[in-house]
Amino acid sequence: EDQVTQSPEALRLQEGESSSLNCSYTVSGLRGLFWYRQDPGKGPEFLFTLYSAGEEKEKERLKATLTKKESFLHITAPKPEDSATYLCAVRLYSGGGADGLTFGKGTHLIIQP
């Protein structure tokens, strides 16, 4: 069965303390891995798409990387406004071209000033 597992479930960091979030997947027919940020009661906000092992993408203090079995979201010198739930999702090939995403349960990140 296709699975997406994120770790840790929750992470509390001091402002400026860098860390990494993990997303491991056991799927067949992967057609993209996505990272989203979600604030309470709001819709997920798109961050990155990764398609192939070795690919890396950066945006401000965030950097996403992908291997054959997992992805990491590295957060460098985080600020309190980076506090949110970070969701990893995979897109599987269904043939229709409008494939739904399968999400992990997320990492709840808190950055303390």
Partner 1 sequence: AAGVIQSPRHLIKEKRETATLKCYPIPRHDTVYWYQQGPGQDPQFLISFYEKMQSDKGSIPDRFSAQQFSDYHSELNMSSLELGDSALYFCASSLHWTRGAPEQYFGPGTRLTVT
Q: Per CB under 8 A, does 50 bind partner 1? A: no
Q: Per CB under 8 A, does 8 bind partner 1? A: no
Q: Per CB under 8 A, does 37 bind partner 1? A: no
DSSP-derived 3-state class of residue 24: strand
Q: Per CB under 8 A, does 83 bind partner 1? A: no
At residue 95, φ and ψ (nearest 5 deg) are 100, -25
- CB neighbour list of residue 70: distance below 8 Å, 6 or more residues apart: 22, 23, 24, 25
Contact 59, 73 (CB under 8 A): no
For the CB of residue 69, give the shortest distance to partner 1 in the complex, in Å.
20
How far apart CA 100 and CA 89 sit, in angstroms, is: 10
Stretch that binds partner 1, among 21-29, 61-69, 73-81, 89-97 (CB under 8 A): 89-97
Q: How many residues bind partner 1 (CB under 8 A)?
A: 25
Q: Bridge-partner residues for 106, per DSSP?
A: none
Q: Per CB under 8 A, does 59 bind partner 1? A: no
Summarize as ranges the residues that interact with partner 1 (CB under 8 A). 31-32, 34, 36, 41-46, 49, 87, 91, 94, 96-106
